Structure formats: C-alpha cells, structure tokens
Amino acid sequence: MSPATFRADALRGYRLFESTDLDETRELISRVMQPHALVPMGSGRGRSHMDFVKLGGLGLGTIAFGDAMRVDVKAVDGYYLLMFCVTGNAEVRTMGRSMLVNRDQGVLCAPGQPFDALLSPGCEQFVLRIDPVALNAQAGQGMPHFASLVPVGGSHLRGWMQQLQLVASSPELLACARSNPHVATQLESLLIDLFATGHVDNGMDTGFASKRSPVSPGFVKRAEAFIEAHCSEPLELLDIAGAAGVPARTLRDGFQQFRGVSPMQYVRQLRLERARDALRAAPSDVRVSEIALDCGFAHLGRFAMVYKAMFGESPSETLRER
C-alpha cells in the first residue's frame, strides 16, 4: 500500500475544526500538537481543517490549510512526530537539514527537535503523534533521537502502511477502538511494532549528520575524518577500521551506538549528500553520471535508485530544478 492511494475516510468523522481564520487555526491546532507559527505563503484566505483521534499512546490526524503555508515549530513538544503528505508536498527543515516530504517519503522528528515546513498549495498532511512512553514500552529501546526521512512508500514499511490505512479508512474499526480500550491498545501496539521494525530494518535511513552524539570515542571521529577525506575513493570497512586504529567489529559497534548507522551506510549517505550538493550547483550541460562517479558511485543505476529513496526525487530532477 503506497501513500499515493492513502485514504483517511474514517478520520473525517473526527473533524476538530474548519476555519478560514488563521489565528483560530493556530490556536486550535496548538491545543492538540504544540504552539507554532503559521506564515501564509499565498493569499492567506484558504480554508483550514484538522481531523484527529487518539488510540492509546497514538494520535492520528490530518491537517490542511487550503493554501501554501509555512509552519514553524520551535521544538516538538514531548512526543515523536511522523508526517507525510496525503496530497501535495512539503519541504521540511530540521536539525540543519532540508528534506522533501511527499506521499512516499515522510519525516520523523523526536521530542525537542525543531520543525519548519513549507507546505505546497493543496497539501494535506497525515500526522502521527507517538507517545515516547508507549513507544519505549512497545519497541524496547525506542526510536533514535534524531530526525530522519521515512520511506513510507517503501517495502520495509509496507505492512505498517497497510495497517495504518486500515485504521484510517475503516469507520467501523476506528469506532470499535474508540469504544473499547483493549482494541485501542492492540492497534496501538501493532502499529508501533510494525513501524519500529520497518524503520530499524530500513537501510535507507537519512539525516545522519543530525545523529551525531556530542560525545563519541576518538576512533569514531578518526573514522569520520578518514571517510570525509577519501569519500570519493573505493572504500571498504577494513580500510576505515585500519585508519581509525580499531578492529572492524569495534568500529561497527561504535558507529551504531554513536551515529545510528554502520560505517558503510555513513559512507553512502555522505556520498549522496555530496552528490546532491554537486547537482544543485552544476551547470546545465553536466551529466548525472559524471557527478555520480566523482562522488564515488560506480554503478549509475544503483546510484539513481538510492538517491531517489533518500531525497524523494531522481538525480536528473534535482539537476533540472537546481
């Protein structure tokens, strides 16, 4: 089930408000989410609405403003926020990174993180508010404390998306969960389990720069410096471990603990980000293959696939829209 066909029919029965008044919209959304600033990027006369329902430690909802809008949240207030677009798209900035969010790519923000989104005209967001206590109780160690793109249209999260779609589109199931706390708890547990499993298993997680722990071992920092200096060259795990002066297993464990990714995932993500920067700065006659090779990608087809999974658009689209 792809979010391209995501339906939220059942949530329409839990509409909190409809309004053309921006101050009223801001106030009513803040009661459910957190205080935030709304800056209209169009006429400012669009009709806003919000649907929202609670299932135990989960809050499911949709938000639309009817016009292009900037939403500025100084810090997500005490919960995990997962957002993707049912219609339209958004550019989200958080922890110093800009991320494209649409029907296939969502963004996950941890408690305390900033969230600044520029929503396209006609954008409707699906928002999932996750209580950290419920997540930690269900998923053991919980989700990492960083923002990341979440490929909600990908195969790793297909089971989660199918279950989420069922809850959001079935009035009968949602009504049963609302009236029966046991059913609500079971649905909450299933959704958190499926999401945590799919998100952890997914090797396309992004946003690694914002995962960096302020305190980390010297060998991790030495490995990062080596990777950044030799990123465009062929690299193997043993090369990086040798430069860091530790066994490969120690290096893997250190990166997983302090960076949230493996050393080779770190290499790939750094290469992808450098490729994106190069594509955005490239003249119109440059070839994508040249940039891919310069950034350390030997297989153009594989590069295009992982690039689109990370940024939500193909390398050629980035080049055209630079």
Residues 26-58 have pLDDT tens digits of 999 998 887 789 999 877 678 999 999 999 889
pLDDT at 73 over 80: yes
Q: What is the pLDDT of residue 255?
A: 85
Q: Residue 81 in contact with residue 129, Cβ under 8 Å?
A: yes
Alpha-carbon distances, residue 149 vs 92, 106, 296 (angstroms) = 10, 6, 23
Residues forming beta bridges with residue 49, ordered by sequence position? 18, 64
Q: What is the pLDDT of residue 264?
A: 87
Q: Residue 70 in contact with residue 52, Cβ under 8 Å?
A: no
Of 122, 59, 55, residue with least CA distance to 86: 122
Q: Residue 308 in contact with residue 314, Cβ under 8 Å?
A: yes
Homologous superfamily in CATH for domain 212-320: Homeodomain-like (1.10.10.60)
Q: What is the pLDDT of residue 269?
A: 83
Residue ranges matching CATH 2.60.120.10 in the chain:
3-201
Burial of 240 (0-12, 13-18, 19+ CB in 10 A): buried
Main-chain phi, psi angles of 20, to 5 degrees:
-110, 5
pLDDT at 167 over 90: yes
Distance, in Å, from the CA atom of 120 to the CA atom of 241, rounded to the nearest integer, reads 45
Looking at CATH, the fold of the domain delimited by 3-201 is given as: Jelly Rolls (2.60.120)
Q: What is the pLDDT of residue 304?
A: 86
Alpha-carbon distances, residue 318 vs 123, 195, 272, 279, 307 (angstroms) = 21, 29, 12, 6, 10
